[in-house]
Structure formats: structure tokens, C-alpha cells
Structure 1
Amino acid sequence: MNKTSQPMSALALPSRPILVAGATGAIGSQVVRALLARGAQVRVFVRSPEKVHDLPPEVERAVGTLEDRESIVQALKGSHAAFYVSPHDEREEQFAEHFVSACEGAGVRLVFSGVHASGTNRLSRFMQRTIFGLLMPHYQPKLRLAERVRTSHTNPVLLMPGNYFQMDEVCREELLAGRYPLPLGRIPRVDTRDVGEAAARALLDASVKSGGYALVGPESLSGEDTAVHWSAALGQPVQYAPNLAEMDALFVRAYGGRKALDCQKSYRLVGKVKMGTSAADLRQTTFLLGCPPRSFAEYAQEVAAGWQAAGPPVPPHAGPRLPSAAS
């Protein structure tokens, strides 16, 4: 089965559109892509229609902001389900409350992707949030808002993805120069396209039960493993050379603002963590996708071919980029 095919052969598509918030971001854009590939009706929630001018004309544009709850309410009218990913913003809990409560009022399923302390009951999730909060204090708001989603009256599905393969693309020039500078202990990683596919399944298939679902690739990867895959894909030696100062500059250059800061703090942690990919997590991922997840080797080969076809990278601007839209 190819990665854009619908895993539920007999599934009837809903007659109402799916609302996607964050449609221009790394995950939201993949959700839109996967929904369109299945023939679903899609409505995107954006600050400005110009931000999604490249989407097909049949995609509905709902204009509003997460600060304005009423604009979310209006965007949800007539929707079948909604997708939400929390932006990198100090007001993220307020934004999530606006979106979740609007979904509750509209009576639609909410599919969320982000950091979540999974567990079968509130006590076990509270204990996990406490531990995670000590390890990742900057993620405490994200953990709280995810629990708000989990306990909401939206028949919610929470997707818990590993570290994204695509994060490596911030260090394109360094990889082409033979260095992989991002610190990685050994952690589950996943392709953002698979996150989009899994979200589309949960948004369209009412038989997917409410709860938390891990999203992982076939195996956990260390920094050394990742460098080996890039070496094979690029056809040249790539050394694992973790460098925190270089990493910080890369994220400022790529994202700026709160997102860069979150990435810097997260990678300082994942550089020390060693975590295997469990068979249970892989089963959950395969269930939602309807097929095995993409491997990092497959991803790296595709990206390397694109880089080599495009020619040498353009040197980055000397100054930091302005903060980008949250993803």
C-alpha cells in the first residue's frame, strides 16, 4: 500500500469539511495534504488567505485567530471534525482553551498532535506529567493543555509523535559539509508525513477510538545512527559532531522567537536521553497508517536526492530570521 492510499477501503467520506488549524505549519500542512489525497473536504483556519494561496481552490478558507474564540466558533460551523496543534506561544494554554471549548460547543471530534503524558487514567497521567515537567519545565504548559484535550467532550484523539525526521533539514549546509551537529542520545523519530497520514485517519474514521496514540518510525535513532544514514544518502562521510552553540544558531536562523527557544531546550534534553521504540508504539503507528511507517533511511535518501538536484545551498543571511508562523 502506498503512503497516500486510504487504509480503510470501505470508509465513506464525511459530507462536511474537516477544519485544520495551523495549516501552514510543519504538521498542519501534512494533515491538509493527507486529507486532500483521500478526497476529503478541507477547511483551513488561517490569519490571512494569502498564507495558503497555493492550496487548491476547493479548500475552504476560514479567517480568524486563536486569540478570537468567536472566529473559531464560526470556522467550526458545519465541520465534521477538527485538527489542532499548539503554537509556540506564551499564550498557548489560552489558545488551546479557546479551540477546545469551541469544539465542545460544536460537537465535533478533536484530533490533537503534540506532547502528552499518556495513561489509562488521570492519576497515571498526572504522575507522568509531574516527571516530564521536572525534565522539561518549558513544556509544562503543553502538558497541561494536552490533558485538557484528553478530558474534553470531543471524543478526542491525541497523537504523540517522536522527534521529527524533518528537523534535520535545519542543518542542510552542515550535513553537506560532513557534520551532523544536533545532539541525539537515542530516541524514537518519525516522518511528519506519517503524522499527517495518522491524523487524517483519525479525522475521517469514527471507529478510531478516543485516546492517546504514539507515532514512531521503525526504530529509535542515535546521533551516530543518524549520521550513518546521512552518509549513505549523501554518498560522503558525515560525522556525528554535537555542538550546542552551533545548534542554537541553527534554530535561531531557521525559526527565531519562541519556537527556536523551545527547540534549543528540547535538544539539550534529547541529547542525553536513551529510549527504545516499543513494539506497542509501533503497533499503534501501523494501525493508524494502515502500513509500516517510513524509515529514516528512506527519508534521508529522498531529501538528499532533492538537495543534490537543487545544487549548492545559498549562504544564510547574516542576521536571524524573524519569528515564523507557529507549526
Structure 2
Amino acid sequence: MSTRVEEKKTALVTGANSGLGKAVAKALAAEGMRVGLVARDRVRGEAALADIRAATGNGDLHLFIADLADQSAIRGLAQAVRQKFEHLHLLVNNAGTAFPERRLSPEGIERALAVNHLGPFLLTNLLLDLLVASAPARIVNVGTRMNTAMDFADLNWDKRPYSMMQAYGQSKLGNLHFTFELARRLQGSGVTVNCVFPGVFNSNLGGTDGAQNLFWKLVARLLGWAIPSAEQAARRVLHVATAPELANASGQYFGDRKTLPAPAQALDPEANRRLWHISEALTALDRPERQAVGA
């Protein structure tokens, strides 16, 4: 009697060249998964891939280069992933950033919003049919825990004085709006989507220009959070990404193996739909001619 060989699972992790993303990718590789690592910088991405390969012995690792602030780069990334992978069982939207002053993406969008919310929104939508075809599959959005609300009248910070903390918090709140609305849309598809707060941890958020130290000093002072290692934080993400008991969980917000209360605005279905439609317009997904990968 023949035994069915279980298909190797394929995962894609954004922001995988360092910190939390690298720790998550390494753990998935250690479990024998085929792992795609998305990095903005090729040198750092290749170094991370080599480190993970040496640590795990997994040779089925693949590097994709894309700046998630650039929508044309995201479209190219989605196309490259689809050319490389015939299936996709797990998408971890981890990449995030913060800036001490207002910066704009190539599309003229405030850069934290572009990377932290619109990046995963666009990438996920461009890979959604691949995930559905690979079901059961999971989408994990890495969020944060800041009690804030999005200013729909000024998402681009054209009218208000720019605040790094508020811009970061509002852009990451977008992950919750996105998670809850996408979960509603994916009901019955075999694909789940959840958001996880990994805790505050040592990372290179904001790059090497000093934003990281300033940001986490502010967080530690204002919120009193301890700062564990990226490997410790990765455990929360991996639980949501792989735990068998969460196979059917969708549209939830997790902390350390338990659900968390979401900010009030994210619990409003109308607000979730509103941000979805705004995001479609900002990424040109509301235009049929731009929905195709690479268009």
C-alpha cells in the first residue's frame, strides 16, 4: 500500500534579512520548509540566507529583492515569487519601518504608511490566488499594540505636523484593519489571516540613521515595555503561523499565545471597508488594468 508523501510547505517572509524576519525564516527553514526571504538590500539578504542555510542545513532557501515602499518593486516581487514557487502556504508580512521625519515613497505616499500597510496590502492581494490555490494556507500580519486611530482625512500627513510615533502607530493599525477585512473576504477559501503583536524587541526598525534608537527609547519610556531578543519575539509569530490548533483561526489579533483586544476603530467593519477601498485606490488595485501581476 503506497503512502502519500506530504507536500513540502512553502513560506514567504518579508523583512527577512535581519531581526524578527530573519528569526522567523530561520525557524521555518529548521522545520524543513521551502522559504523565500524578501530583503531590500541584496548584500544583507545574501548574508542572511547564507547564515540560515549554515545554521539549518536547509538548501531550499530563495532570496527576493524588493523595496516595499515602491509599488512597482512589489509587483515585480509578486511576479518573481509566482515564477519561483508553484505553491505558497504561508505569507508572513513582517517588514516594517519608522522615520524621524516625513518621507515619501516613489508614489508620493508617506513612507511608513507605504511600507507598513500598503506594502503588505498590495503584496498579499497580488499573491492571493496562489495562496487560495495552495490551501490550506495562512497569512500572518505582524502588527503592534498602540491604542490609536487612523486619520482618514490626512493619511499622508499633508495637514498635520509629522510625528514618528503617531505615523508608525497609525500605519501599523492598518495591519489590523486589513486583517479583519481580509478575513471576512476569505471566509470559506481555506486561507486564514491573523495579526500578531510580537512584543517590542531589538531590531533595526527605521534603518541605521538613528531612528531605531530614538524610537525604542520613546517606546520604552512611554509604554514601559521590556525589549527581548528577536528570537524570543519570533515565537509568537511562529505560533500563529504554524500551530495546528490555529488551523481554522482567522480574523484574530494575537499576542503571546492568546488573543488581544484591538483598538476600537479596527473593530468597526465600516472603517475596515473604508481603509480597504482607500488602499485599493492608493495601490491602483481598483483599476482592472493594474490588477495583473507586473502590470
TM-score scaled to structure 2, two decimals?
0.52
- Partner deviation per Cα, 1:64-91 (whole Å, 9 max, x = no partner): 4432333232315422111112422332
Aligned to 2:126, which of 83, 102, 116? Answer: 102
Q: Secondary structure at the match of 2:237?
A: helix
Larger Rg: 1
Partner of 2:143: 114
The alpha carbon displacement at 1:165 in A equals 5.6
Number of matched residues?
186
Asked if residue 73 in structure 1 is aligned to residue 78 in structure 2, the reply is yes
Q: Structure 1 residues 14 and 187, CA, compared in 2 at 3 Å: closer, same or farther?
A: farther
Q: 2:75 touches 2:123 (CA, 8 Å); kept in 1? A: no
Q: Structure 1 residues 130 and 29, CA, compared in 2 at 3 Å: closer, same or farther?
A: same
Poorly superposed stretches of 4+, deviation over 6 Å:
131-134
Q: Structure 1 residues 191 and 109, CA, compared in 2 at 3 Å: closer, same or farther?
A: same
Partner of 1:163: 200
Please give the alpha-carbon distance, in whole angstroms, between the structure 2 residues aligned to 1:162 and 1:16.
27
Asked if residue 37 in structure 1 is aligned to residue 30 in structure 2, the reply is yes
Aligned to 1:203, which of 233, 236, 241? Answer: 241
Asked if residue 212 in structure 1 is aligned to residue 253 in structure 2, the reply is yes
Asked if residue 130 in structure 1 is aligned to residue 140 in structure 2, the reply is no
- Partner deviation per Cα, 1:209-242 (whole Å, 9 max, x = no partner): 2211113xxxxxxxxxxxxxxxxxxxxxxxxxxx
Please give the alpha-carbon distance, in whole angstroms, between the structure 2 residues aligned to 1:110 and 1:166.
22
The alpha carbon displacement at 1:25 in A equals 3.1
- Partner deviation per Cα, 1:42-98 (whole Å, 9 max, x = no partner): 111234543332322431123444323332323154221111124223322331221
Please give the alpha-carbon distance, in whole angstroms, between the structure 2 residues aligned to 1:132 and 1:163.
24
Please give the alpha-carbon distance, in whole angstroms, between the structure 2 residues aligned to 1:69 and 1:185.
33
Q: Secondary structure at the match of 1:284?
A: coil
Please give the alpha-carbon distance, in whole angstroms, between the structure 1 residues aligned to 2:32 and 2:173.
33
- Partner deviation per Cα, 1:118-170 (whole Å, 9 max, x = no partner): xxxxxxxxxx5439999x53221221233113321351121112222679xxx
Q: Secondary structure at the match of 2:28?
A: helix
Partner of 1:83: 92
CA RMSD of aligned residues (A): 3.7
Please give the alpha-carbon distance, in whole angstroms, between the structure 2 residues aligned to 1:13 and 1:159.
28
The alpha carbon displacement at 1:20 in A equals 0.9
